[in-house]
Structure 1
Amino acid sequence: MCLCLGPTGSGKTSLLRKLQCVNVVDETTTAVPTVGTNIFHLRRGNIHIEIRELGGVMAPIWPKYFGGTNKIMYVVDASNLCQIAAAGVLLYTVLVDPQIKNVKRWT
């Protein structure tokens, strides 16, 4: 299982929808902030990846989902200058968690 994490409003849902189907997301697409989790299934040839997106508001309980995780994708909206510092602190709290010391990280 891959976890997709990041602060609220960083574009996790939009990114995963775009990875699922390129034509689904365009300039008119809007997303509602995720409260809870979403599961996305990505297929590329013979490769199947199941990604669990956790909403940014759930950050305090993210560690409850770290068990059984073998990959982490962390999304940051680099155009939101007010969010970058907070996103860095949040990422650091994820990286120092002992439950994920052997997890591959996609950044």
Structure 2
Amino acid sequence: MPLLLGATGVGKTLLLKRLQKINAQDSGAELGDPPATLPTVGTNLSDIIVDKKKVTVREMGGCMAPIWPSYYEDFDSVIFVIDAANPFQISSSCIQLLEVLSAPALELATVLILFNKIDLPCPVSLLEMKSLFRLDGIISCAKQSITVLEMSARSGQGLRDVLAWLQFAQRR
């Protein structure tokens, strides 16, 4: 079961709603306007159909970061979302990511790092994000298998790649 983490306002809830909508329609249909969301306080469980199997994703609100580690034991995959359009949040997101990756309970987890909101004006580019996060170094030192993707939960760009990763993660 995947654990969905990230700071407040990075788009975790919208990501889940959009993934559910993609699964509820045929591949050629439009996603339409994004639904309204509220910041998650606590946790949410959302079911997504991946490869004809139900996958339950536990979303943890960003304000819950101090207690995220108490949930790590139950998960074999982590989706960590970062707001690529908010340069003021990058350093705190990097610290949170390093804390997640260094947790002993998650050392065998499969990790997906998502740079969301790439459709907004002036997002930090993937190349810049990789440099700011020193992702090459993190990936080379991490015990986890790490995948990095860009996406926009709002426009739908990259959502099918997220579903493909979920399919891969469920096979492990």
TM-score, normalising length: structure 2: 0.58
Give the number of aligned pairs: 106
Structure 1 residues 1-107: aligned runs within 5 Å: 1-22=1-22, 26-27=33-34, 29-107=35-113
Bigger relative contact order (CA 8 A; separation at least 6): 1
- Distance in 2 between the 1:62 and 1:104 partners? 17
Judging changes above 3 Å, is the alpha-carbon distance between structure 1 residues 25 and 82 closer, same or farther for their aligned structure 2 residues? farther
| Cα deviations by residue, 1:23-76 (Å, 9 ceiling, x for unpaired) | 77725x332111100111010342321100000000000001001201100011
Runs of 4+ in structure 1 displaced over 4 angstroms?
none
Aligned partner of 2:141 in structure 1 is none
Larger Rg belongs to = 2
- Distance in 2 between the 1:72 and 1:25 partners? 27
Structure 1 segments unaligned to the other structure (5+ residues): none
Q: Is the 8 A contact 1:17 1:24 kept in 2?
A: no
> Alpha carbon RMSD of aligned pairs, Å?
1.6
Q: 1:17, CA displacement in angstroms? A: 0.5
- Distance in 2 between the 1:96 and 1:45 partners? 30
SS in 1 for 2:78: strand
Q: Is the 8 A contact 1:17 1:25 kept in 2?
A: no
Structure 2 segments unaligned to the other structure (5+ residues): 23-29, 114-172
